[in-house]
Structure formats: C-alpha cells, structure tokens
A = this chain, B = another copy of it.
Amino acid sequence: MSGKPLVSILSAGLSKFGKRKGVYGRELFVEAVTEAFERCPKLDPKKDIRAVIIGHMGESFEHQGHTGPTLADWAGLLPSAAIRTEAACSSSGVALRIGIFALLSGLYDIVLVGGVEKMTHRTTPDVTEFLAMASDYPFEQWHGLTFPSLYALMATAHMHKYGTTEEQMAMVAVKNHHNGALNPKAHIRREVSLEKALNSRMIAWPLKLYDCSLITDGASCLVLTKPELAKKFTDTPVHIIGSGQASDTIGLYERQNFTTLKAAKLAAKEAYKMAGVKPDDIDVAEAHDCFTIAEIIAYEDLGFCQQGKGGKMIENGTTTLEGKIPVNTSGGLKSKGHPVGATGTAQACEIFLQLTEQAEKRQVKGADIGLAHNVGGSGATATVHIFRRG
C-alpha cells in the first residue's frame, strides 16, 4: 500500500507558540532546534548538520532578511549552507520539500529544515499589511483586499454553491480549540463554544474573529536524513513517503473557481501518487486552517470527502480527535497559532509526534500514516507531505 521512504525524520522541535515578548525570532528558532537535538541525543549538531533550510515569510516583521545564515549563526550551525525559502504561509512547507531535494541529490546526508516568524510585537494594521504582501500588489493589495477579505470571497462562494453554513465554519473553530487546549505548546489553550464563535466580532462577512487563525510568534524544525542512515540515530524514525507542490495564480481574480484550491489538489495528487496511498489511508492530518473555510475546502481538496461535502464532514464529527480522520490534532493555525513561516514544519512536527506516540493527550491511537497540507497566501502555493511510522 505505502511507498518507499524518500527521507526519514530523525527528530522535531517546536518553540512554545504564543505572544513571546522580549525575544527575537532567532531566539525562538534556537528553542526549537534545542528541543530537536535533545530529542535525538545521538545527533551532533556541529558535526552532523551541513545544510539548514528555513521558511521565513516577512522581512518586515523584524526588519531582518537574510534569515538563513542569521538563524544558522544563532543556532550554532555555521558554516552550514543556510537557505531561506519564502512562499508566504507555506514558506516552511517549501523548506521541507527543498530538504528532501537536498538529501535525494546525494550532496547531503543530514539536513535541518524549519521555519520561524516573530509577529506579535507589531501592531495589527502592520501585521495585516505585511501579510498582504503574499497577495497581488497591483491587483489586490492596492484595492484594499486583505487576507480575511480574500478568504471571505471563498467562503461566500462555497456557501452559495454548496450551502455551507456559518455554523459549519464555526464548528471548525470549536474542534480546533478543543484540540489546542490539549497541546502544551499551543498559543490559545482554551475551548470555545459554538455560540461564542458564532457571536464573535465580524471581520469580513461571513468570517468572524473565531473564523480567523492567530497572529503568533513561534519556530519549528525537523532533522532529516536518508532512510538508510536513520537507524544509526534513532529507533523510531518517521519516513516521508510522498511530497507534492504546485502553484496557482497569485491573484484570486485570475481564477475560474473560488471554492477549491487548484494548487492544493495538484500537490495532493503528486504526494498520494508518490506515497502509493489514498485519502482513505490517512490516519491523522494537519490541514492549513488559516480561516475555518480553508479547513473545509482542504477536506475536499485532499479527497477526504467529495467536493462540496466539507461542511457536512465537520458537522458529522469525522475529523475530531475520536473521528475517522482526525484533522489538526495540534489545534491547527486556529488555536496552536500561525507564526506564518513556521507553520509548515510545525504541522510536520505534530505528525512526527503522532507517529511516534508522543502526542500525549491528543494522541491518535495507532496512527500509522499522516499528512500535512500547507497553503501559501490565497492558494498560489501549496505543499502536501505524507508520512509513515518507521
């Protein structure tokens, strides 16, 4: 059923997500890297790591570009070749994919991939503006479109075409806050009731405050190696068996359809094919819930349900911790938080924890195959990765 390992994950690390006052992003990254090395004591950071690939979305947040060597420097990983990838909120999903390229190329034996973003020290209007750079400048930003309004266009189209409701969207928030409350690293560890979510402040109709993910500080990383070297370092590796990436138009206005993300569908198709698995085989998934409607669309794009049936899927409880395909056991971007550059590898961290039985109160019993779905902007980039217990 499942394909050949492309690469193996030796370890993973995550900083505490949240409002992290008084630290730079580079310090959050050190927190994540430290956890990853503590989790795999046979790794020697200075000796074993020769390449560092980092997803980082916005130079404006900390007035800091050239983030690759900055983070490698602070994490004590010089003179590793350090690379920053940027693909908006899928910056570290892309870093993970480049890490796979680097290992498959034969030029490296072990690489560290990760991501970081420090956001909460900026004002909300600043954050909104910086995030908007992931959409089209002359044709979207210029006219005042921001990300809540872009996803609101998708939500209204989905409501109109398939009868998806505001209640169904709110149910995504309820589920993800429930999971996040069980995750010690999550930003907002608080359950939310359906009523509270539905009555929260309007942001861009039909999206309310609780339909939106969080502005969060955080960092994440994974240490990857060739499958044949994994057992030298750990008895419990997790293999990556499928990787997909595709792109779509930068502007939403250029698309024929607002109710699906074409790049995500193509990335999923590539990843499933490589992995030799079907949507039905997935035991646990992290999906890119930057807005609640995005998780509903993800169910459909990933083939977890038919097109248009995403609203019903959340309603039926299929994706809760106890459901058939638990989605966003970490709390997702909605409750764990969304430090944009860190999100892709943070999703992979959660899958790593699940497939190595380290997910504590949110553990999905016997999970064998996992999936991470990471979306950049309004879907101009998407990556999908499929993981198998080693």
In the complex, are the beta carbons of A87 and B58 less than 8 A apart? no
Which of B66, B102, B376, B377 is within 8 Å of A133, CB to CB?
B66
A21: min CB distance to chain B, Å: 15
A276: min CB distance to chain B, Å: 16
In the complex, are the beta carbons of B133 and A69 less than 8 A apart? no
Does residue A239 face the partner (Cβ distance < 8 Å to B)? no
Interface residue stretch chosen among A11-19, A243-251, A301-309, A330-338: A243-251
Q: Which residues of A66-90 are within 8 A (CB) of B?
A: 66-70, 72-73, 78-88
In the complex, are the beta carbons of B81 and A245 less than 8 A apart? yes
Interface residue stretch chosen among A104-112, A204-212, A343-351: A104-112
Main secondary structure on A side of the interface with B: mixed
A27: min CB distance to chain B, Å: 11
Q: Report Cα–Cα, A389/B82, bound state, in Å.
A: 29
Q: Report Cα–Cα, A106/B135, bound state, in Å.
A: 32
Q: Which residues of A254-311 are within 8 A (CB) of B?
A: 254, 262-263, 266
Does residue A162 face the partner (Cβ distance < 8 Å to B)? no
Which chain B residues border A78 with CB–CB below 8 Å?
Answer: 247-249
Which chain B residues border A377 with CB–CB below 8 Å?
Answer: 66, 69
Given contacts A87-B66, A98-B98, A133-B64, contact A79 B248 (CB under 8 A): yes
Interface residue stretch chosen among A34-42, A136-144, A315-323: A136-144
In the complex, are the beta carbons of A65 and B57 less than 8 A apart? yes
Which chain B residues border A72 with CB–CB below 8 Å?
Answer: 247
Which of B104, B248, B266 is within 8 Å of A104, CB to CB?
B104
Which of B73, B249, B250, B266 is within 8 Å of A249, CB to CB?
B73
Which of B65, B251, B381 is within 8 Å of A58, CB to CB?
B65
In the complex, are the beta carbons of A137 and B63 less than 8 A apart? yes
Does residue A60 face the partner (Cβ distance < 8 Å to B)? yes
Which of B24, B69, B250 is within 8 Å of A70, CB to CB?
B250
In the complex, are the beta carbons of A81 and B247 less than 8 A apart? yes
Q: A51-67 interface mask toward B, CB cutoff 8 Å, 1 = contact, 0 = none?
A: 01000111110111111
In the complex, are the beta carbons of B70 and A380 less than 8 A apart? yes
Does residue A100 face the partner (Cβ distance < 8 Å to B)? yes
Given contacts A66-B376, A66-B377, contact A100 B94 (CB under 8 A): no
Which of B65, B81, B138 is within 8 Å of A134, CB to CB?
B65
Q: Report Cα–Cα, A72/B246, bound state, in Å.
A: 11
Does residue A101 face the partner (Cβ distance < 8 Å to B)? yes
Q: A110-151 interface mask toward B, CB cutoff 8 Å, 1 = contact, 0 = none?
A: 000000000000000000000001111110010000000000
Which chain B residues border A136 with CB–CB below 8 Å?
Answer: 64, 70
Which chain B residues border A262 with CB–CB below 8 Å?
Answer: 79
Q: Report Cα–Cα, A250/B70, bound state, in Å.
A: 5
Given contacts A70-B380, A381-B82, contact A64 B137 (CB under 8 A): yes
Which chain B residues border A63 with CB–CB below 8 Å?
Answer: 133, 137, 141
A106: min CB distance to chain B, Å: 6
The 7 closest A-B pairs by CB, nearest first: A104-B105, A69-B380, A81-B245, A65-B133, A101-B101, A69-B247, A66-B134
13 more CB-based (< 8 A) A-B contacts, given A66-B135, A79-B248, A81-B247: A59-B59, A64-B137, A65-B133, A68-B247, A69-B376, A70-B250, A78-B249, A80-B246, A84-B86, A84-B87, A101-B101, A101-B104, A107-B243
Binding site for B on A (CB under 8 A): 24, 52, 56-60, 62-70, 72-73, 78-88, 94, 97-98, 100-102, 104-107, 133-138, 141, 243, 245-251, 254, 262-263, 266, 376-377, 380-381
